[in-house]
Every structure is written in structure tokens, then in C-alpha cells.
Amino acid sequence: MAIRDALHSATLHHRGATGEPLVLQLRGQHVQTPPELFVGALRERMVTVAARVADGMLLNWVTSQRAARLCEVAAAGTGERHFTTAAYVPVCVVDGPQEREDAYREVASQLSSYLQLSAYGDLLAEDGYADDVEAVRAARRSGRDAARAVSASLIEAVALIGSADEVKAGLDRLREAGVDEPVVAPVTVGADSAASLFGTWAALAE
């Protein structure tokens, strides 16, 4: 609530953990229409907080099944109040098995770093990917390429890679799970990243 108050008044009054009062003056032009506030949420507790104080929540690296559960929690906490659920999802429209393999490899590289963190690794372990999480962490401890330890099934659970129709179907599944705004994060493949990026955008726009 302190952030929301600051956006309305351009002044933040906050009392820190030690009890000492803090006053901060926001620089720049005062915002006449404050932006919506989103809270990053992965588990039920943060979803409950978001539903109580924010305008929406942002999910990240979640399966459609977990997204559905978290959306139910949010709905229970917001009632009739407008609330937006957004979800970050890596996507890549590919042409052929080589591009698909390259896209999987890129997502695995990104995901292997997140699996080191308890916030993400432990959550995905609870969702049925404990073997992946342990394999990635073991690879990191031994100095091996952790990305190679990420299974195709985990990649397919948190990213959308395939033909335009396959990716669009995956986005529809997220919306059916309760996600209002899928945040499409294109994954690029090949030597020409720009061509790959625009190829995905163009395919999804058709």
C-alpha cells in the first residue's frame, strides 16, 4: 500500500524494520493516473497478498495446472473486484526438428539457472519435476552443463515451442486456466536472431 500511496502523492512515508520513519520524495513529473500495480507470485501466500493489495499478479515459469490453481486462489480473494493475471511464457514458432531442438536448448539454458533457486526449483519439484531439479543441481555442483539435465517434458510444461498452431493452442490453454494476459517472451534460434524473433511474432499474428 505504501507504493500505491506514493504514486498518488509523489511522497513515500514508510516505517522500516527498525521502526525508524522514512520519507522519500519521488522525482520527475507527478503521475496523474497511477499505473496498475502487479505483484510477482508463485505460491498461494503471495497470490493472497496480490489479491488483497494489487491490481494483478505476474506468474513466471509455471505449468498451466499451477496457473489454474493460483487463479482460483486469486479469484477467492478478489471477489468481484477487477484483477488481472499475467503469465510470462517463453515461446518460439519453429520450422522443422532442428529449430525445435535449438529452441529447447535455449529454454533449457534459461531454466537451468532458475532451478538453482528454491523459489522456482522447489516449486517445480512439487509439480512433478523433482528429478529434473535434482539433476540440474547435481550437474551444477559437479561443473557439468546443467542445461542438458533439463528434460523435454519440463520444457514443454513451461514453454510453448512448435508450429504456430501448437503455440496458439498452448496460449489458449493458459487462458482457459484463468490467465488473462500471457506475456509472450520469444525465444530466438539460428544465426539471425531478428529474423527468428519477427518470424514468431508474424506467425502468431496471423
Name the pTM for this structure: 0.84
Distance, in Å, from the CA atom of 106 to the CA atom of 200, rounded to the nearest integer, reads: 15
E-strand stretches of the chain? 11-15, 21-25, 38-40, 56-60, 84-93, 160-162, 181-186
Kindly report the number of other CB atoms within 10 A of residue 26's CB atom: 13
DSSP state of 127: I
What average pLDDT does the segment 28-33 reach? 60
What is the residue whose three cell numbers read 500505491?
4
pLDDT band at 9 (very low <50, low <70, confident <90, very high): low
Beta bridge partners of 58: 40, 86
Q: What are the tens digits of pLDDT across the range 76-91?
A: 999 888 999 999 999 9
Instruction: Sketch out the chain's domains with CATH numbers.
Output: 1-35 (no CATH), 36-205 (3.20.20.30)
Query: In the predicted model, what is the mean pLDDT of residues 155-164?
Result: 97
- Cβ atoms of 107 and 161 within 8 Å: the answer is yes
Measuring CA to CA, which residue among 66, 113, 65, 90 is closest to residue 189?
90
How does pLDDT run across 137-152, given as a tens digit for each residue? 999 999 999 999 999 9
Q: What's the mean pLDDT in 167-195?
A: 96
pLDDT score, position 11: 62
pLDDT at 4: 60
What is the average pLDDT score of the chain? 90
Residue-level pLDDT at 8:
58
Rounded Cα distance between 90 and 98, Å, is 18
- Residue 2: pLDDT over 80: no
Beta-bridged to residue 186, according to DSSP, are: 91
Count CB atoms within 10 A of the CB of residue 195: 12
Residues 91 and 81: their CA atoms lie apart, in Å, by 31
What confidence tier does 121 reach under pLDDT thresholds 50, 70, 90? Answer: very high
Task: Identify the CA nearest to 115 among candidates 131, 137, 88.
Answer: 137
Q: Which helix (H) or strand (E) holds 108?
A: helix 97-114
